[in-house]
Amino acid sequence: MQSLRSLGLNPSYRAPSSWWEHVPIAHWLVAQLQPGLIVELGSHYGVSFFSFCEAAAAFSEHSFVYAVDNWQGDEHAGAYGEEVFQRVSLEQQQQHSQRSRLVRSSFDEAATHFAPQSLDLIHIDGLHTYAAVQHDLNTWLPKLKPGGTILFHDINVRERDFGVWQLWEELKGATDVHTVEVLNGHGLGIATYAAAAPAWHAQFSEVAALLTAKGQLLEQLAQLRPDSTFGETDLRPYKQQLQQAQAENKYLRDHSLRTAVKRLLHR
């Protein structure tokens, strides 16, 4: 199936992120939509940003991706040092300098440098309070082309003053917005601003289960080996972890059996 060609793309960049479960969705969207300009608001370690870049390299060579961030953190991401920006910058320069650019500034300042109705795809993933995400939407929506799409991360998080879910519920009731969503991970909302729902929304619904399944696998691999690379051929570390887990399970089973026998003998 042509719409599933992106399933064969495995990410080469690895970093801590709550976005791993949505990486296959980013790949699919870029392959399907062939967007000209993509802007991401909030990149942190760059997992989502490089997902767009890798998909552009594989499926949409005319796409160009901007990452906007101050790379200092906020109350939800936490504060972090200069090493995070240096890590993202190094990967961008070495692997994606021809198809992307890092914009180190506030979201509001960056918005002044993009023309109205110039963007095909926007990913909003900055401060996650209701007021902040609503402000980001109001600021950047005029930059979106008619029929363009905005992604909202963390629509399924309802703690620590996160309010993206609240804005997302409002968008689902709007007449000029057509939405699809995935609730795995922290949740990802996909909103297309058009008079009618585009055909690709139905196509996405058909393949969403496969995309989320792959995303869950990527999340598990990222947790298993944070510093590994996808596609590696040296399986010895995984075998060692498996053997250790099996030994621990055997010890627990034997211990439980011994405990049960002692209890029977002392009745």
DSSP per-residue string spanning 115-184: -TT-EEEEEE-S--SHHHHHHHHHHHGGGEEEEEEEEEE-TT--STT--HHHHHHHHHT-TTEEEEEE-S
- Assess contact for 102 and 39: CB atoms under 8 A: no
pLDDT recorded at residue 260: 46
Whether residues 209 and 262 share a domain: the answer is no
CATH of the domain at 214: 3.40.50.150
Exposure class string for 226-264: b at 16+ Cβ within 10 A, else e: eeeeeeeeeeeeeeeeeeeeeeeeeeeeeeeeeeeeeee
**Mean pLDDT, residues 78-95:** 88
Whether residues 111 and 171 share a domain: the answer is yes
**Mean pLDDT, residues 139-166:** 92
Give percent of the chain with pLDDT exceeding 70: 80
**Mean pLDDT, residues 207-233:** 76
Angle among Cα 69, 71, 76 to the nearest 5 degrees reads 90
Give percent of the chain with pLDDT exceeding 90: 63
- Assess contact for 184 and 164: CB atoms under 8 A: no
Whether residues 174 and 250 share a domain: the answer is no
Whether residues 47 and 178 share a domain: the answer is yes
pLDDT recorded at residue 230: 46
CA distances in angstroms from 109 to 127, 134, 182, 254, listed in the order given: 16, 16, 31, 63
Best CA proximity match to 22, nearest among 214, 165, 238: 214
Whether residues 213 and 240 share a domain: the answer is no
Whether residues 37 and 76 share a domain: the answer is yes
Whether residues 211 and 176 share a domain: the answer is yes
Whether residues 200 and 76 share a domain: the answer is yes
pLDDT recorded at residue 20: 93
Whether residues 89 and 152 share a domain: the answer is yes
The total domain count for the chain is 2
- Helix (H) / strand (E) element for 58: namely helix 47-59
Whether residues 16 and 92 share a domain: the answer is yes
Question: Residue 195, SS3?
Answer: coil
- What would the pLDDT profile of 25-72 be if each residue is shown by its tens digit? 999 999 999 999 999 999 999 999 999 999 999 999 999 999 999 998
Whether residues 24 and 58 share a domain: the answer is yes
Structural domain containing residue 190: 2-224
Whether residues 244 and 220 share a domain: the answer is no
